[in-house]
Homo-oligomer: A and B are copies of this chain.
């Protein structure tokens, strides 16, 4: 099972709506089950440097099938995955990337959001996720 473009756009649109509500312009990326880019939107005035980060968050979340922030807990100095961020052309291991699961619990893709604080990024990603069906 894989996410469709229609589903990815619904997720992006909901994330964008949440970003507008909290007043933070965001970069929003959605990847499919193969971790390949499916949809991307950069809101006006969103950080240029967050294009790459949003995409990397979505990929990272699908690469390891967990929210990106979970990886960051293990990649700190002395941690079991120390500096894993240098792999795969660059991972992002702080919050803002979340896997997308279908009704059967299968992972069909992931969303990555970047443009605000990591709490805001995660909040917007979560809002996007809630629109998946």
Contacts and interface: CB of A to CB of B under 8 A. Distances in A.
A82 B76 contact: yes
A87 B55 CA distance: 10
A34 B37 contact: no
Contacts of A59: 49
Query: Among A36, A56, A76, A93, which residue has the most Cβ atoms of chain B within 10 A?
Result: A36
Copies of this chain assembled into the complex? 4
Contact of A44 (B4, B37, B82): B4
A82 B87 contact: no
Contact of A32 (B9, B34, B63, B91): B34
B85 A92 contact: no
A17 interface: no
